[in-house]
Amino acid sequence: MDNFFSDREGEDLYYMRLALQEASKAAERQEVPVGTVIVYGNEVIGRGHNRREELQSPMAHAEILALEDASQNLGSWRLCGCTLYTTLEPCVMCVGGILQARISRLVFGCLDPKGGAVESLYRLGEDPRLNHRLAVAYGLLEVECAAVLDQFFSRLRGKKLSALSNQLSAKGGGEGLKADR
Q: In the complex, which residues of this chain contact its own copies (CB under 8 A)? A: 52-53, 55-61, 64, 67-68, 71-72, 75-79, 91-97, 99-102, 114-115, 117, 121-122, 124, 127, 129-131
Distance CA 19, CA 88 (A): 10
Among residues 62 and 140, whose Cβ is nearest to its own copies?
A: 62
> Shortest approach of its own copies to residue 22 CB, angstroms?
18
Q: Which of 63, 89, 126, 144 is catalytic?
A: 63
> Shortest approach of its own copies to residue 93 CB, angstroms?
3
Among residues 114 and 181, whose Cβ is nearest to its own copies?
A: 114
Q: Is 63 a catalytic residue?
A: yes
> Shortest approach of its own copies to residue 140 CB, angstroms?
24
Among residues 33 and 97, whose Cβ is nearest to its own copies?
A: 97
Residue type for 81, please? G
Question: How far from chain centre, in Å, is Cα 28?
Answer: 15
Side-chain half-sphere of 87: how many Cα atoms within 13 Å? Answer: 30
Among residues 30 and 165, whose Cβ is nearest to its own copies?
A: 30
Active site residues: 63
